[in-house]
Amino acid sequence: MPEGPETHALADRLSQLLVDETLTRVRFVDPVLQRRRRLLEGHRVLAVKARGKALLTAVDGGWTLYTHSHLFGFWRFVDAPEALPDETRPRVLLVTVRGVAALYAAPSVSLWRTDALGDQPYLAKLGPDVLDPAVDAKALLAHMRDPRFGKRTLAALLLAQDFAAGMGNYLRSEVLFQARLSPHRILQDLTVGERRRLANALLDVPRRAYRAKLDDALPPGKDYLARTRASFGFAVFERAGAPCPRGDGTIAEIRLAGRRLYWCPGCQH
């Protein structure tokens, strides 16, 4: 699943195509949404923003298109609808004079009144977005004091969107390595200094990945990882058996919270 940096980079790409343009054609594969397409069609796009791993496309009629690609969803960008492949219909088709954005295979697509987005179930549960410029280390440290998180392992917390929105599996390994923290540690047992290291890494690592200028069109599956590896550079992720970049041992692979995790037992305590 593309993580926060990829989703924010995708929001930038969609913004270039859609913002301040009128949606001349909108099509949904879902028949219920298709009957409501005029809530978007003929309206000017005000903004495309990422929140966590979801995308929000707002128009001047007071409505917002919510999409979440989950594991398999992906966008294609072409100059005209005729340039799209014929074998599969996109779940969402957005057309402006600048071009076409088509969303395939995404399971979560819905329309919301913009002023009611706080009621959208995924968005309502999100914690601070690590890629939101308004979120700083102070905000993350305050959020860490929430009793919901105290007894959970860092391995589990760094996948929890209510703890840190936009985080994901490759970011989890890289954040813990930068913070020099074991994935087995419990949040409430961290010292003040360790919490500060964690908060700083939660901001620094995803934002460096975002600044790496990932490719615009994200394909399905795990191809985005190859692009991240090339443009951002992993210190530990998918480097099992390699020497620790700090020279403190060997990178190990383990499975925690249902996902593979990479870390250095020698320097992450």
Instruction: Name the catalytic one among 2, 90, 128, 183.
Output: 2
Q: Which two tokens stand for residue 178?
A: 């930068």
Instruction: Name the catalytic one among 49, 51, 53, 197.
Output: 53
- Neighbour-count burial for 234-257, b at 16+ CB within 10 Å, e otherwise: bbbbebeeeebeeeeeebbeeebb
Rounded CA separation 35/244 (Å) = 56
Instruction: Name the catalytic one among 44, 259, 260, 265.
Output: 259
Instruction: Name the catalytic one among 3, 6, 91, 174.
Output: 3
Rounded CA separation 126/129 (Å) = 8
Q: How many CA atoms lie within 13 A of 94 on its CB side?
A: 26
Active site residue 259: yes
Active site residue 89: no
Rounded CA separation 92/60 (Å) = 19
Active site residue 238: no
Active site residue 2: yes
What amino acid positions are annotated as catalytic residues? 2-3, 53, 259
